[in-house]
Structure 1
Amino acid sequence: MVTLCAAAALAAPLGAASAAPATEPEPQRHRTGGPVLPDCQGRPEVRPGAYLLACGDGNSRLDSLRWSRWDARAAVAQGVNVVNDCVPYCAAGTFRSYPVTVRLEAPAGDRGAGEPRFTRISVTYTDGRPAGAPRTVSYPLPG
């Protein structure tokens, strides 16, 4: 059950956020070179300090992101993935933090605004990980 909840939380990168505690700083929404990262609503962000992965239920987010690279090909950050363990079930679960490296890749042009957007995010757990999660998880990004 825990594995199922953790996998569902990690595999839900689209939708509307609802339950995650929100204490992250306001991300930059203007372009400062290189592609942008679309948030859950498709708004462009540049070097955000936090990013919601599980937009549908808020059970997985990236926090304390420190970007060491952000250019036309890729972006790399260190931070933590805060994931609901869903024990005994998701509504009563505990949020647990796991150190991660985040990589954004595969920029593509946006048909609307014309600014390129990263289209893939990879999260690599560097010290521990949610039950049943692989060491590296990759998701397509909204675009």
Structure 2
Amino acid sequence: MRAQRAKTTFLACVGAAVAAATVSAPVSASSAPRTRPGTAVVDCTEKPQVRPGTFMLACGDGNNVLTSLRWSRWQPRVAEAEGRDMVNDCRPYCAAGHFHGYRVHVRLDQPQRRPGHPGQWHYTRITLTYPADRPAATPSVVTSRLWN
């Protein structure tokens, strides 16, 4: 009987916590992006992050990751950082390849509402700018869409 009561109490607490977490303030037409709470960048495991120190770009194989990120700006519309882009040269093949680091400026922008997550916003575009050396066959500025 105690076990059942404890389980019922636990489930009631979980239900209340979930309900409280999903309640959000109504959004009016005058709510501009700059007034919303923080915008996140969503990693490849679908976890929202704010000012991450590292960020995986090649989720399938881990052969490209941003590291040592130092964020100078994290605002609702744009975030900017300096860091290193660690890229595997995959020579002779990726498992035997070596990682090389390149200085990079990172810019996140084009925030949108995160589908399936009421009240959450996330950046949908990343721009990498290499001020000096860069990976082979890579332009000095690379802009890509981020996953949802």
Tell me which residue corresponds to 1:82.
86
Say if 1:111 and 1:89 are closer, same or farther in 2 by CA, change over 3 A.
Answer: closer
Question: Which deviates the most, 63-72 or 120-129?
Answer: 120-129
Which contiguous aligned blocks of 4+ residues in structure 1 show a shift greater than 3 angstroms?
A: none
Alpha carbons 1:34, 1:73 under 8 Å: kept: no
Q: Which residue of 1 aligns with 2:98?
A: 94
Q: Which residues of structure 1 form unaligned runs of 5+? A: 1-32
Q: Which has the larger radius of gyration?
A: 2
Give the Å deviation of 1:91. Answer: 1.4
- The match for 2:129 is 124
When normalised by structure 1's length, the TM-score is 0.75
Q: Alignment RMSD, CA only?
A: 0.9
Aligned-partner Cα distance in 1 for 2:145–2:96: 29
TM-score by length of 2: 0.72
CA–CA separation in structure 2 for the residues paired with 1:41 and 1:142: 10
Q: Indicate the structure with greater helix content.
A: 2
Q: What is residue 25 of structure 2 aligned with on the other side?
A: none
CA distance in 2, matches of 1:37, 1:98: 21
Match of 2:114 in 1: 110
Cα distance, 1:112 vs. partner?
A: 2.0
